């Protein structure tokens, strides 16, 4: 015999008598019923609609019989609902419930917009209003059947000048509710362009490099253009911009390898009696890289050595003039070493006896005036001094200078009185 009555459920939970179900206007409401024999003779819901809802059919635990969905309206609030389920054996379950209907929350309140920050450059494009995910975040947006439509709430923004701008954007939802938020737009400087050809400039000092910075830099800002080498080390900068171009004098030599530039535009905070207007500091993308290459060294360096006199006496100074040249760069002229080897000078004599002054100092030519003070008796004789120059490619050149050091002239003393008067002493 079948003596078990059917069960009635709401949202998968069995209903009890006098239960209150809280709903929102516009929700979809449905009930289900099951019987241990798997069949429901009559499933009835009355009190919600003008005409009772009745169903019949299979209703097992694995496949409950559903009342289908009922759209909740405001007038259902406070009504008593009677739900009856009867199986084929005449077992009946009846449940009385109350329905409480709250006003449905507007979609804009449940799913408000939050504006994003957009990075672009002067003259760049902004996302289309249909590209919602690039402009705003939607709270629990995945629960929306339809995303809101967007429009700029006021004047649409542009990217004509560098700066940080905020623009209001409005979203309209399927229930006609609206959410307004602000989008921040960072308009960065245009990517700079290195105009100067850096071929054959690596290793050279004091080079000037021209960089185009583009348009859109507003008044009241400071623009800094910087150059960097392949190791990201800054090698020069300027804040002087003329006709959209910056001329940068490189600090020291231009290193061989890739060189790139950046443009930074800065505006300080502006303080007023009531508020402080926020400033900004925005940096462009890196420019396309240009490669600095060293000039090809095709010639050996040259060196000449001349002396004021090729013959000096003990006690006199030896004066030598050196001219070292190269087609690319004179790297080294080791004059002190040449004098030590050629004249047999001791290391401790260098600072006291050798004086060196440089009369020309460029990459391609280095000239020196050398003085060896107070030639010594130990240096009497003929000496060949070999001077050497080395260029940046490691090539060398030499010049030989032959010097004769003579003994000091004898001193003659002639007494003017006494027994030795008229005789000479040497």
DSSP-derived pairing of the beta strands 311-313 and 396-406: parallel
- Say if residue 91 is exposed, middle or buried (CB neighbours under 10 Å; 0-12, 13-18, 19+): middle
Per the CB < 8 A criterion, the answer to whether 367 and 394 are in contact is: no
Q: Point out the domain boundary residue: 169, 188, 207.
A: 188
Same-domain pairing of 395 and 306: yes
Confidence of residue 140 (pLDDT cuts 50, 70, 90): very high
In a domain, 425, yes or no: no
Is the same domain home to 112 and 62?
Answer: no
Residue at 297 is within a domain: no
**Which CATH number characterizes residue 371's domain?**
2.60.40.10
Q: Which two three-digit tokens encode residue 131? A: 């590209």
Element (H, E) at 343: helix 335-343
Are the beta carbons of 69 and 80 closer than 8 angstroms? Answer: no
Residue 14 binned pLDDT confidence (cut-offs 50, 70, 90): very high
Residue 228 forms part of a structural domain = yes
pLDDT of residue 328: 85
Domain ends where: 49, 70, 102?
102
Q: For residues 241 and 284, give the distance between their C-alpha atoms in angstroms, rounded to a whole number.
A: 15
Q: Which pLDDT band holds residue 405 (cuts at 50, 70, 90)?
A: very high
pLDDT of residue 227: 98
For residue 159, what is the domain's CATH number?
A: 2.60.40
**Mean pLDDT on 279-283:** 96
| Paired sense of beta strands 13-14 and 113-115, if any | unpaired
Predicted confidence at residue 210, as pLDDT, reads 98
Give the pLDDT of residue 246: 97
How distant, in Å, are the alpha carbons of 415, 416, 422 from that of 419? 9, 10, 9
Answer yes or no: is 317 within a domain.
Answer: yes
Please state the pTM of the whole predicted model.
Answer: 0.61
- Regarding whether 397 and 317 lie in a shared domain, the answer is yes
Domains held by the chain: number: 4
Q: Is 209 contained in some domain?
A: yes
Digit-coded pLDDT (tens) for 364-396: 999 999 999 999 999 999 999 999 999 988 999
**In the prediction, which pLDDT does 276 show?**
85
User: Phi and psi of 28, rounded to 5°?
Assistant: -105, 125
Residue 138 within a domain: yes
As a whole number of angstroms, the distance between CA 156 and CA 125 comes to: 12
pLDDT score recorded for residue 374: 95
Strands 92-102 and 19-24: parallel
Q: Is the pLDDT of residue 178 over 90?
A: yes
Q: Mean pLDDT over residues 343-349, rounded? A: 89
Are 86 and 135 contained in the same domain?
no
In a domain, 131, yes or no: yes
Same domain, 13 and 96: yes
Domain containing 210: what range? 193-292
212 plus 259 within the same structural domain? yes
Cα 398 from chain centroid (whole Å): 50
């Amino acid at each position: 015999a079948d003596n078990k009555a059917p069960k009635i459920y709401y949202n998968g939970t069995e209903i009890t008598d006098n239960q209150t179900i809280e709903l929102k206007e516009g929700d979809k409401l449905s009930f289900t019923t099951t019987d241990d024999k798997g069949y429901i003779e009559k499933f009835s819901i009355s009190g919600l609609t003008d005409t009772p809802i009745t169903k019949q059919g299979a209703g097992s635990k694995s496949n409950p019989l559903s009342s289908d969905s009922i759209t909740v309206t405001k007038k259902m609030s406070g009504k008593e609902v009677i739900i009856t389920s009867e199986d084929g054996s005449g077992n009946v379950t009846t449940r009385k419930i109350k329905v409480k209907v709250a006003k449905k929350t507007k979609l804009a309140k449940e799913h408000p917009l939050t504006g994003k920050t957009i990075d672009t450059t002067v003259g760049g494009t902004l996302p289309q209003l249909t590209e919602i995910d690039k402009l705003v975040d939607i709270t629990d947006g995945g629960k929306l059947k339809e995303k809101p439509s967007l429009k700029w709430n006021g004047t649409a923004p542009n990217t004509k000048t560098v700066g940080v701008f905020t623009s209001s954007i409005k979203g309209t939802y399927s229930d006609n509710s609206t959410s307004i938020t602000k989008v921040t737009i960072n308009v960065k400087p245009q990517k700079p362009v290195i105009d100067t050809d850096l071929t054959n400039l690596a290793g050279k000092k004091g080079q000037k490099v021209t960089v185009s910075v583009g348009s859109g830099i507003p008044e009241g800002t400071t623009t800094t253009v910087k150059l960097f080498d392949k190791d990201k080390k800054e090698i020069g900068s300027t804040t002087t911009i003329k006709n959209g171009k910056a001329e940068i004098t490189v600090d020291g030599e231009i290193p061989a390898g890739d060189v790139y530039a950046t443009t930074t535009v800065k505006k300080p905070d502006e303080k007023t009696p009531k508020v402080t207007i926020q400033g900004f500091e925005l940096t462009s993308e890196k420019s396309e890289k240009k490669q600095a290459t060293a000039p090809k060294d095709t010639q050996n360096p040259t060196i000449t050595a001349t002396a004021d006199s090729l013959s000096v006496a003990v006690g006199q100074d030896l004066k030598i003039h050196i001219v070292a040249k190269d087609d690319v760069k004179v790297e080294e002229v080791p004059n002190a070493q040449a004098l030590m080897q050629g004249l047999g000078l001791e290391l401790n004599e260098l600072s006291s006896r050798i004086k060196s002054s440089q009369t020309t100092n460029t990459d391609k030519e280095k000239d020196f005036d050398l003085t060896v003070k107070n030639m010594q008796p130990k240096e009497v004789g003929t000496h060949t001094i070999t001077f050497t120059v080395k260029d940046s490619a490691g090539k060398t050149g030499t010049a030989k200078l032959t010097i004769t050091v003579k003994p000091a002239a004898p001193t003659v003393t002639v007494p003017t009185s006494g027994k030795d008067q008229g005789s000479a002493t040497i």
